[in-house]
Structures are given as structure tokens and as C-alpha cells.
Structure 1
Amino acid sequence: MVALAMLLAVPALAPAQVTRTVTWPAEKTVGNFHCHADFPFGRDELLLAQLGELSREISEILGLPPAREPVHLFLLHDRETYQAYMKQHFPRVPARRAMFIKSKGPGMVFAYKGDEFEIDVRHESTHAVLHAVVRDLPLWLDEGLAEYFEVRRDDRPSNNPHLADIRQQLRAGHAPRLEALEAITEFDDLGRAEYRDSFGWVHFMLHGPRAAHEELVAYLTDQQQGRDTEPLSSRLRRRLPDLDRRFIEHIRP
């Protein structure tokens, strides 16, 4: 999915300011998520309940401490209302279908009830959980993890649509290089191919060789604790000298 996670370098509204500007007919707290909607939650109660589970899963799978910092989730009933709302409160932020925004305070997630609503909410909420505990994630890894956790839990190992796309690329002789993803530092340089390839490397580290998973966890721990660390590609290649071959073997059915 193409959405946006933005760590604002410009002044942004605090969650309290945002919540005061709209009367929210539905509000609910699930774990560290404070959910506000301009429509009754109804069937979406299940999705909200899953957010608490998502936060715990991210912590357990990635070896990170639990996210304690509040996250405010703002849900609008249609695209037009969402676009007007974002234009009013964040006029300098590029228009996207869904968004995670964090300035100096708690993170904020914004989404509307569209065809990809559940995916959007899980994707942006993943960003929120990650940034509540890890302050400086590489862009590719931040997005790759969000792409991984955006689908339902049972679909993560084998039913993410990205897998078929990566396999098609491999059949055409195109294997994604991790170093190329690590060189990306601007959101504008992330296209669908980069989202797909970032997901592929995350999938490899979570479902491939144990050494790859161990190195991901160790890398995230170093990042979370503020220690200087070399790029993840260097760490993986030291543990797995045949890294590219192992990646291809993992992705191919």
C-alpha cells in the first residue's frame, strides 16, 4: 500500500488540539491506542481489538520493549471528509490515502473508510508502534515492516500480494539488492517497487534463516538503545555470506 509515515520537522498540532476541533461520536481506548471516529465503530470494533494484539506481536516478533507511548487513531467516514480534515490541520503534508504523523509528542494515525481501510489502519498503526520505541529506523525497514504487518496475521507468511510480485521479478532475473534500499533516504524515492522489495527482505528475515531473524532483532535492539551500528546489510552478509542466494531460495516457491 502507498501511504505515508511522516516525522514532522515543522510544528504540528498535538493530539489534544486535533481532538478538540471535531466532535467525535465514537471513542475507544485499546491498549496504548486512543481511537476517535466520526462514525459508529460497529463491525470495526474487531479491527480496533486487533490493534492491541498487533502491538504485542510487533514487540514479541522483533524483540522490542512494549510500546507504552499513547497513539491517537483518527478515523473519518469517507475520503472527502478525510481530505478536507487533513488539508485544514496539516496543509503542508502531501495528500495520501492514510498517514502516520509524529512530531515531538505522541504519534497520530489518520485513515478513512475506503476499500483498503483495514490494511491502511494496520499499516499506519505499525509505524506508530515502531516509532513509539525506536526513534531512528531506516526508511526501507520502517516501510517493509509496515507492509508485512498490514495484512491479517494468518496471511503474513504466504498470502501477502507482494510475494507473487517478487517471484515474478525473480523469474525475470531481477533480484532486489538490500544495499539499494538502504541508500533511500527520501519518501519521494519510495515507489511501489521499493515497498515490495522492502517487504521481501523483511519477510526473509522473519521467515527465512534463523541467523537473519537474530540479526534483525539485534539491529533493532541497537537502534532502540541508541547505539551506533553498521547497516543491516553488512551485518547480514557477515552472518550469511551467500545472502543473495539465500534470499532468492527463500522467496521462490
Structure 2
Amino acid sequence: MSIFGFHYRLERKSVGLVLMIVGVASIGGLVEIAPLFTIHQTVEDAPNMRVYTPLELAGRNIYIREGCYACHSQMIRTLRDEVERYGHYSLAVESKYDHPHLWGSKRTGPDLARLGGKYSDEWQVAHLNNPRDVVPESVMPAYTWLSRTELRTDDLSAHLKAQRTVGVPYTDDMIANAAADAYGQASPDSNDAEGVTKRYGKDTNVRAFDGKPNQLTEMDALVAYLQILGRLTDVDAKPVADAGAKLGAKP
């Protein structure tokens, strides 16, 4: 009864009530914020992790623009059925260059965290043009215009520069050559292709993603992004227990 009596008395004193509300809210905020101060101790870096290429980053922007994240999550949980279906559970370090992150909480379609390399470029293009051609029961809309829409590249340097302001380690060379690298990644026979592997690594996917060499489209960008999901680092190739212990799984 004394607790309720204290509460009733406190309600009659507006200043005291406000101070108590602030105090209780501060405790909750501290519980959420405090762990962030030790984030570098709990989540280790993946030494071989690379950044998105300009073409992949453009594809990610298209993925967000078209609302793909609303039906597909990019976070495999540690549950056994998810790991068996989608692969190694997602690790926090894998999202270090994702601004914003696209973990998601709703799945109308499957999780895409480890989609990269699972299907061919031709499958991805066919699926985006008409999902029911490859998945008859799909309710996903078609994105046929992507193959007909030229990819805008004149603002890619600005996109990379913006990413660098939030911690993504793009170099001045990467920023200066963003437009050329986007074209070169989708045009393996062009003079710009060599620069892509020089700046982003020899394992970077360099090919005509939409099947049309020397023509850069939004389809190229989106497929390039889908084909790199889960492959910016090789943590998924490690044994589940080993990788999780070293790098920390997402909750």
C-alpha cells in the first residue's frame, strides 16, 4: 500500500513526477546505449572484407528504391531451420558497410543474406523480368523496365563520398573513378574493367550482368548487388561455431 501511496503523492507534484519520469527513461536509455561503447570489443573486423563497388552500391540503392527490403530480410537468425535453409547465420560485421542496414523483420519472400552466387545472372534477370517464369507460385511484381533503363552514373562519386562520411573506407581514387568503375564492371571487354579489379580486388565480379555488354542498365546494377550478398567476406565459409565465436552473431 505504501508504494501506491507514494505514487499518489507524486502525481500531485508535477516537478517531482517529471523528474521521476526522466530518471526512469534515462535508465532504459542507458541500458540500450551502454553496450555500444564496447562494440569494438564484441564485434571484430573481418580483415578480408571489401566495400561495395559503385555498381553494387547503385544496385543497392535501386533495391531500396523499389522496396525489395519490405518483402525480403537480410538477416539469417541462429535458429537451426534458418541455418539449414539459408546458410551460415548472419554476423554483425557483415553489415558494417550497410547504410542503412536491411536486416528486416518480415519475409514475404526468402531471406537474401547469402543469395550471392546461388543462382546465375540469367536466372536473376529472368526472375526480375517475370518472377513466375522461374518460381510459378511467386507473388513478386515484375521489374521489366530495369533492363530498358540506363543507369545514372554521374552522381556515383557523390554517393561514395557520402558513404565515406559515415565510415566506409572509400579512397579518393575510388571516388574519382566511380562512374568509370560502374561501367567497367558490367563491360568486361572495356578499358575500364581492369581498374575495377585493381581498386576492389581480383575476385570482384566483372561481367555483363544483364547479358548486354557495353550497355549499362539498372538491371546490371541490381543483379551485381544481388550476386555479392553474403560474399563481401568469407565468414560464411568458416565452421558455424568458429565464425560465431570469433565475430559475434546478430541477435
Higher relative contact order at CA 8 Å, sep ≥6: structure 1 or structure 2? 2
TM-score, normalised to structure 2's length?
0.26
TM-score normalized by structure 1?
0.26
